[in-house]
A and B are shown apart, each in its own frame.
Chain A
Amino acid sequence: EIVMTQSPATLSVSPGERATLSCRASQSVGSNLAWYQQKPDQAPRLLIYGASTRATGIPARFSGSGAGTEFTLTISSLQSEDFAVYYCQQCNNWPYTFGQGTKLAIK
């Protein structure tokens, strides 16, 4: 089973600044990597798939990059609604696996 490791566990950033979240896979997952955003008491929503493609309706300030084992989610110019928990998930091999999440907090 592929282990996904996210860092940092918590990231404190001021509104308007850039946030960079990392996700590492224990073995190559190609580009089959997705990012999700979860706000309190809500179901997660898909942000990015294929490592870098934004899902429908996701603002352009969200971008994903990487391939193989190292991936990054960047949120440029943070808005108040972006403070949430973010998860990465590999969908290259069964069983699919999630990272433990990064909480993006207001500084």
Chain B
Amino acid sequence: QVQLLESGPGLVKPSETLSLTCTVSDYSITSGYYWGWIRQPPGKGLEWIGSIHHSGSAYYTTSLKSRATISVDTSKNKFSLKLSSVTAADTAVYYCVRDQSREVPAIDWGRGTTVTVSS
């Protein structure tokens, strides 16, 4: 069973950069298809942020493309999300996920981590 664990600050100030890491256990990140980030603002639906392959190829949602960067560290079996110039609208639960294949997205999820943007 693949284990995914998100970590990072729970509070970020407006205009700063949100940084989260997803640690993958019991599975090699280089064996996976794509690894992604999904977020959910309080009381709202799911928003796909982006995904990365262990080779470094990444895709992002249109609305966050200019602010989001996903990277992968195969030596540490982790991947990360950076979101710059955050505002209160970026307050959300952030989930990391494993895509098994093009046909099987988000088969495994982390528990999620809450990030609040506030001064």
Chain A residues in contact with chain B, CB under 8 A?
1, 31-32, 34, 36, 38, 43-46, 49-50, 55, 85, 87, 89, 91-92, 94-101
Contacts and interface: CB of A to CB of B under 8 A. Distances in A.
B102 to A, nearest CB: 6
Contact of A91 (B50, B62, B103): B103
Interface of B: 36, 45-48, 50-51, 59-62, 95, 99, 102-107, 109-112
Given A87-B45, A95-B59, A43 B112 contact: yes
Contact of A89 (B48, B59, B62, B111): B48
Contacts, number: 69
Contact of A95 (B46, B61, B95, B111): B61
12 contacts: A32-B102, A32-B103, A34-B105, A43-B109, A46-B107, A85-B45, A87-B45, A91-B103, A91-B105, A95-B61, A97-B48, A101-B45
Given A94-B59, A95-B48, A89 B105 contact: yes
A95 B104 contact: no
Contact of A96 (B51, B107, B109, B111): B51
A6 B60 CA distance: 22
B15 to A, nearest CB: 25
Contacts of A95: 48, 50, 59-62
